[in-house]
Amino acid sequence: MIDIQALRTRLDEINKVSSEQWMAKLTPRGVAELEFHNRARDRAELEQLDQDTYEKFHGNKKYYSATKRSHDYIHDWIRKHAPGAVVLDYACGQGGSARLAAKSGAKLVVGLDISDVSIRNARQLAKDEGVEANTYFVQANAEDTQLPDECVDVAICMGMLHHLDLSYAFPELRRIMKVGGRILAGEALDYNPAIKLYRYLTPQMRTEWEKAHILDHSDLRFAQRFFDIGEVRYWHVTGYVGGKFPTVLPALDALDRALERIPLIQLMAWIWTIELIRPPKT
């Protein structure tokens, strides 16, 4: 185990790595992910895009308006597990989950991401929202975090595991989680043919690695080599259509509440959430 001050000291050391050293350690895949997410989160660049260009590269964002129920579940999970914990927002993006955990009473929230633009944005947003004191955002490689062993109580993995090589990510998460520590992953599910077709038709919205690594049950079976599996839930079998046609979203949400409980049909869900629990050492 490690105390908070020792963890902060280690984070300071990670944060001091120069840009040249950082880039030299990245694989070509890592560089591609960094560049993609830097472009996607550069606020100045986004503001300069005309509507057609924005739609071409970011048009999928409108569908996320249909994910309120799964977001509410994730937010409630964070509020339940964050108080008094050391929380990791794993590949944190701009730190939305981290800030919620900090506001929910986490002892310390660590947000790490491969994108330096994301980390700068996350730090500023944490400062703006008054949670700078118990958050620490650092540019780091999620597959090799450099964090100490068994230093994390709770981890949040939102829409990011499909950007990683799970043969590195799962062992790394197991190493840094405390025994009994809980992870919540929220991911797209790779079965629905309509959603798969949409991804095929919009390749510019994703990295090359991401396109081929949307999660399915084979990844869940792989996760069982490293973790006990907690609650698995399926979301938005039809509701994603409400992102395009908002007037039908309430009806689709009501339908989905039933469909999401039916085996096989639930595999047509857009999103699933998976709870992973760090088992005792053997």
Contact 226, 204 (CB under 8 A): no
Burial label for 236, CB within 10 Å (0-12, 13-18, 19+), is buried
- Domains of the chain, by residue range, sit at 4-277
pLDDT in tens, 131-185: 999 999 999 999 999 999 999 999 999 999 999 999 999 999 999 999 999 999 9
What is the pLDDT, as a whole number, of residue 243?
84
DSSP letter (8 states) at residue 256: H
Closest by CA position to 188, among listed 208, 165, 159, 223: 159
Task: Determine which helix (DSSP H) or strand (DSSP E) holds 60, and give its type and residue range.
Answer: none
Query: CB burial class (10 A; 0-12, 13-18, 19+) of residue 142?
Result: buried
pLDDT tops 60 at residue 57: no
**pTM above the 0.75 mark?**
yes
Specify whether domain 4-277 bears CATH 3.40.50.2000.
Answer: no
